[in-house]
Amino acid sequence: MLRRVNTFCRICEPACGLIAEVENDRLVGIEADKEHPVSKGFACHKGTKFDEVHHDPDRLKYPMRRRNAKAEYPAQFERTGWDEVINDMGERLTNILDLYGVDAIASYTGNPMAFNAFGVQAVGSFLRKLGIRRNFDAASQDCSNKFAGSEAVFGTNSLHPVPDIDNTDYLLLLGENPQVSHMSFFSIPNPMKKIRDARARGAQIRYINPRLIESAGRNHDEVVQIKPDTDVYLLAAMLNEIDRLGRFDEHVINEHGKNIDQLREFIHRYPPERVATVTGIEAADICRLADEFSAAQSAAIHMSTGVNMGRQGTLAYWLVHMMSFVTGNLDRSGGNLYSLGYYPGARSGRNDLQNLFHESPFGDIRYVRGSLPGNLLADYIESEENPIRALIVTGGNPLLSIAGGDRLRKAMEKLELLIVIDLYQSATAELADYLLPAADMLERSDITIIGLGMQQQPYAQFTEAVIVPQYERKEEWWIFARMEQAMGYSSLLDSEGDTPLYNRLNNMLAHSDLSIARLKDEPSGTAILPSVTTDRFYTDHIQTQDKRVDCCPPIFDESISNMEQIFLELEQEPEDQLKLISLRTNFMHNGWQQNVKRLKQGHIRKIACI
Ligand X SMILES: Nc1nc2c(c(=O)[nH]1)N[C@H]1C(S)=C(S)[C@@H](COP(=O)(O)OP(=O)(O)OC[C@H]3O[C@@H](n4cnc5c(=O)[nH]c(N)nc54)[C@H](O)[C@@H]3O)O[C@H]1N2
Mark residues 47-76: x for contact with ligand SF4 by CB under 6 A, - for none: x-----------------------------
Mark residues 21-50: x for contact with ligand SF4 by CB under 6 A, - for none: ----------------------xx-xx---
Nearer to ligand SF4 by C-beta: 12 or 216?
12
276: three-class secondary structure by DSSP = helix
Selection from ligand X, Mo ion, ligand SF4, none that 14 binds (CB < 5 to 8 A by kind) is ligand SF4
Which of these ranges, 136-144, 374-382, 456-464, 478-486, lies near Mo ion under the rule CB under 5 A?
Answer: 136-144
Nearest to 552 by CA among 326, 263, 192, 330: 263
CB atoms within 10 A of CB 401: 22
- Amino acid, single-letter form, for residue 308: N
Binding of ligand SF4 by 450 (CB under 6 A)? no
Binding of ligand SF4 by 9 (CB under 6 A)? yes
CB of 184 to Mo ion, least distance (A): 6
Are 47 and 11 in contact by the 8 Å Cβ rule? The answer is yes
CB of 29 to ligand SF4, least distance (A): 14
**What is the C-alpha separation between 287 and 179, in angstroms, rounded?**
28
Nearer to ligand X by C-beta: 11 or 390?
11
Binding of ligand SF4 by 12 (CB under 6 A)? yes
CB of 367 to Mo ion, least distance (A): 19
Binding of ligand SF4 by 395 (CB under 6 A)? no
Are 110 and 393 in contact by the 8 Å Cβ rule? The answer is yes
Nearest to 143 by CA among 349, 323, 326, 368: 368
Nearer to Mo ion by C-beta: 142 or 433?
142
List the strands of the sheet with 446-447, edge to edge. Answer: 446-447, 459-463, 526-528
Mark residues 154-193: x for contact with ligand SF4 by CB under 6 A, - for none: ----------------------------x-----------
> Between helices 557-571 and 313-326, what is the axis angle to 10°?
110
Distance of CA 198 to the CA centre of its chain: 25
CB of 251 to ligand X, least distance (A): 31
18: three-class secondary structure by DSSP = strand
Mark residues 196-225: x for contact with ligand SF4 by CB under 6 A, - for none: ------------------------------
Nearer to ligand SF4 by C-beta: 56 or 382?
56
Which of these ranges, 86-94, 142-150, 194-202, 289-297, lies near Mo ion under the rule CB under 5 A?
Answer: 142-150
- Amino acid, single-letter form, for residue 483: M
Sign of CA dihedral 46, 52, 57, 62: positive
Nearer to ligand SF4 by C-beta: 156 or 461?
461
54-74 burial code (b ≥16 CB/10 A, e <16): beeeebbebbbbbeeebeeee
Selection from Mo ion, ligand SF4, ligand X, none that 47 binds (CB < 5 to 8 A by kind) is ligand SF4
Are 153 and 161 in contact by the 8 Å Cβ rule? The answer is no
CB of 473 to ligand X, least distance (A): 9
CB of 602 to ligand SF4, least distance (A): 15
Are 157 and 144 in contact by the 8 Å Cβ rule? The answer is no
Which position's Cβ is nearest ligand SF4? 47
Selection from ligand SF4, Mo ion, ligand X, none that 43 binds (CB < 5 to 8 A by kind) is ligand SF4
Binding of ligand SF4 by 11 (CB under 6 A)? yes
- Amino acid, single-letter form, for residue 516: I
Nearer to ligand X by C-beta: 257 or 437?
437
CB of 61 to ligand SF4, least distance (A): 24
Are 398 and 110 in contact by the 8 Å Cβ rule? The answer is yes
Please report the beta strands in 350-454, taking only residues with DSSP state E, as ranges in sequence order.
Answer: 390-394, 417-422, 434-437, 446-447
CB of 343 to ligand SF4, least distance (A): 21
Q: What are phi and psi of 19, to 5 degrees?
A: -115, 125
Residue 8 DSSP code: E
Nearer to ligand X by C-beta: 153 or 419?
419
Which of these ranges, 14-22, 192-200, 467-475, 593-601, lies near ligand SF4 under the rule CB under 6 A?
Answer: 14-22
Applying CB under 5 A, among 33, 142, 430, 475 the residue interacting with Mo ion is 142
Are 105 and 116 in contact by the 8 Å Cβ rule? The answer is no
- Amino acid, single-letter form, for residue 9: C
**What is the C-alpha separation between 511 and 529, in angstroms, rounded?**
11
Please report the beta strands in 327-378, taking only residues with DSSP state E, as ranges in sequence order.
Answer: 336-337
Which of these ranges, 6-14, 238-246, 486-494, 534-542, lies near ligand SF4 under the rule CB under 6 A?
Answer: 6-14
CB of 226 to ligand X, least distance (A): 5
Q: What are phi and psi of 322, to 5 degrees?
A: -65, -40
- Amino acid, single-letter form, for residue 568: L
Numbers of helices and strands, H then E, in the chain: 22, 21
Binding of Mo ion by 484 (CB under 5 A)? no
Are 476 and 394 in contact by the 8 Å Cβ rule? The answer is yes
| Total of residues contacting ligand SF4 (CB under 6 A) | 11
CB of 526 to ligand SF4, least distance (A): 14
Nearer to ligand X by C-beta: 375 or 485?
375
- Amino acid, single-letter form, for residue 254: N
Which residues lie near ligand X (CB under 6 A)?
A: 12, 110-112, 116, 138, 141-142, 174-178, 180-184, 208-211, 213, 226, 228-229, 231, 304-307, 310, 394-398, 400-401, 421-424, 426, 438, 440-441, 476, 581-582, 584, 586, 588-592
Selection from ligand SF4, ligand X, Mo ion, none that 9 binds (CB < 5 to 8 A by kind) is ligand SF4
CB atoms within 10 A of CB 429: 24
**What is the C-alpha separation between 477 and 475, in angstroms, rounded?**
6
Residues at the interface with ligand SF4 (CB under 6 A) = 9, 11-12, 14-16, 43-44, 46-47, 182
